[in-house]
């Protein structure tokens, strides 16, 4: 299993090295901006984790919103790209760190996260590992804290071969409900015209 995961992690590094980052939208999604800035659901301030952060658009946003944010990605090249973007962004000093680590083995800080955000990371998780994804968030998010999932893609993607894997909210319930309660759901959150296919915004509270 560890060997298999190592290979999958190398697959992501190769994507970054060869500029095959076709998922990269060039900016954050307005659905997240809307959720936070319009206070659609009251979230605590504190520390925030963005796993599979890629170039770091969302991590930068959370840091700008005052969260002590960690952008986590298994790819060294992703970290370099994210750090370079952060330098050009207006981020309060000390609020943002990019870390190269595997989501499954990452050693979290002593105080667990108040907020975690998952956008397109779940779509990279092989369906057989999805329960581990849910379990891992339960280990990383503090009791009373929140996991925000912007679930995408919903209306395309593969079922079991190569990412992105097609998602739906029922599969999130299957792997999160043991430890989280769904507290907010928007099946039609604001979308950029360039990425208009279906996504679902969901906020889960850690029990």
Ligand X SMILES: C[S@@+](CC[C@H](N)C(=O)[O-])C[C@H]1O[C@@H](n2cnc3c(N)ncnc32)[C@H](O)[C@@H]1O
Residues forming contacts to ligand X in the complex (CB under 6 A) are 9, 12, 23-24, 51-55, 72-75, 78, 102-104, 119-121, 124
Nearest approach, Cβ of residue 83 and ligand X (Å): 14
Which CB sits closer to ligand X, 98 or 146?
A: 98
Which CB sits closer to ligand X, 81 or 203?
A: 81
Which CB sits closer to ligand X, 104 or 184?
A: 104
Nearest approach, Cβ of residue 119 and ligand X (Å): 5
Nearest approach, Cβ of residue 162 and ligand X (Å): 12
Q: HEC states along the chain?
A: CHHHHHHHHHHHHHHHHCCCCCCCCCCCCHHHHHHHHCCCCCCCCCEEEEECCCCCHHHHHHHHCCCEEEEEECCHHHHHHHHHHHHHCCCCCCCEEEEECCCCCCCCCCCCEEEEEEECCHHHCCHHHHHHHHHHHHHHEEEEEEEEEEECCCCCCECCCCCCECCCHHHHHHHHCCCEEEEEEECCCCCCHHHCCCCEEEEEEEC
Which CB sits closer to ligand X, 47 or 75?
A: 75
Nearest approach, Cβ of residue 202 and ligand X (Å): 16
Which CB sits closer to ligand X, 6 or 181?
A: 6
Nearest approach, Cβ of residue 53 and ligand X (Å): 6
């Amino acid at each position: 299993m560890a060997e298999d995961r190592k290979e999958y992690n190398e697959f992501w590094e190769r994507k970054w090295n060869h500029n095959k980052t076709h998922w990269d939208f060039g900016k954050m999604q307005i659905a997240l901006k809307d959720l936070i800035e319009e206070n659609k659901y009251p979230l605590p301030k504190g520390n925030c984790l963005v796993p599979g952060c890629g170039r770091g658009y969302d991590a930068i946003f959370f840091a700008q919103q005052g969260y002590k944010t960690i952008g986590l990605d298994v790819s060294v090249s992703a970290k370099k790209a994210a750090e370079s973007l952060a330098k050009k962004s207006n981020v309060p000093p000390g609020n943002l760190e990019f870390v190269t680590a595997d989501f499954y083995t990452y050693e979290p800080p002593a105080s667990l996260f108040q907020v975690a955000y998952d956008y397109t990371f779940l779509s990279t998780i092989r369906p057989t590992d999805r329960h581990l994804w849910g379990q891992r968030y339960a280990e990383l998010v503090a009791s009373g804290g929140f996991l925000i999932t912007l679930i995408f893609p919903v209306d395309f993607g593969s079922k079991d071969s190569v990412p992105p894997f097609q998602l739906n909210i029922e599969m999130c319930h299957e792997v999160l409900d043991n430890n989280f309660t769904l507290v907010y759901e928007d099946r039609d959150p604001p979308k950029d015209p360039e990425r208009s296919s279906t996504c679902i915004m969901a906020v889960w509270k850690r029990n």
